């Protein structure tokens, strides 16, 4: 029986991993709160995070709690620290699934950010999109910004090592 573990490259040590180049940098963002919200978006925002801003594709979001829109009836509530939100159905018309560790989050930055992103994404970033979900290097990701030249990428944990390796091999 082959040692299947060896088929894949080892994931990096997320606590210390970083990519630093002249025009591009990346680092994992650890310890965020992430809750998947499914159902009526407005009711969920009103109940869980009144007034919290909503991030779409490539939009610039500010603050330490916001909703990253995935679909018409789905969003990821992101907070600076994990929240004690109960899992399950809420009578207001939505369900919550705590997923603090379900997505890995990378922060990308630098003058060459746009070039690196352009290699990964075919969607028109300047046009934007209500949904932050997009195909990134062949896998589904959530992509938005926290400043003009600083982006955040949420990836399902299982593909984080692959995308990190992909980012490491960019010229940018």
Partner 1 sequence: MQLFSCPFCGPRDETEFHFGAEAGNVRPEPAASTSAEAWADYLHFETNPKGPSREIWVHTTCGEFFLMERDTVTHEVKGSQSLRRGEA
Q: Which residues bind partner 1 (CB under 8 A)?
A: 57, 70-72, 74, 122-124, 127-131, 133-135, 140
Could you tell me how far CA 129 lies from the centroid of its own chain? Answer: 15
Q: Smallest gap, in angstroms, from Cβ of residue 110 to partner 1?
A: 25
Residues 63 and 73: their CA atoms lie apart, in Å, by: 23
Min separation Cβ 2 and partner 1, Å:
32
Nearer to partner 1 by Cβ, of 27 and 38: the residue is 38
81 versus 140: smaller Cβ distance to partner 1: 140
CB atoms under 10 Å from CB of 119, counted, come to 14
| Cβ pair 154, 80 in contact under 8 A | no
Q: Is 130 helix (H, G, I), strand (E, B) or coil?
A: coil
CB of 94 to partner 1, least distance (A): 16
What is the CA 62 to chain-centroid distance, rounded?
Answer: 15
| 63 versus 130: smaller Cβ distance to partner 1 | 130
Q: Shortest approach of partner 1 to residue 158 CB, angstroms?
A: 17
């Amino acid at each position: 029986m082959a040692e299947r573990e060896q088929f894949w490259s080892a994931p990096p040590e997320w606590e210390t991993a970083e990519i630093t180049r002249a025009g591009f940098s990346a680092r994992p963002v650890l310890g965020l709160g992430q809750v998947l919200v499914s159902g009526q978006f407005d009711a969920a925002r009103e109940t869980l995070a009144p007034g919290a801003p909503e991030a779409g594709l490539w939009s610039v979001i500010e603050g330490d709690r916001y909703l990253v829109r995935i679909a018409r009836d789905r969003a990821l509530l992101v907070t600076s620290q994990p929240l004690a939100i109960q899992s399950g159905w809420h009578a207001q018309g939505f369900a919550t699934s705590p997923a603090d560790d379900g997505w890995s989050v990378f922060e990308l930055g630098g003058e060459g950010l746009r070039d690196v992103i352009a290699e990964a994404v075919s969607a028109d970033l300047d046009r934007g999109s209500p949904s932050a979900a997009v195909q990134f290097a062949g896998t589904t990701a959530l992509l938005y910004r926290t400043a003009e030249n600083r982006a955040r990428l949420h990836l399902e944990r299982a593909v984080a090592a692959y995308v990190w390796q992909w980012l490491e091999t960019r010229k940018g």
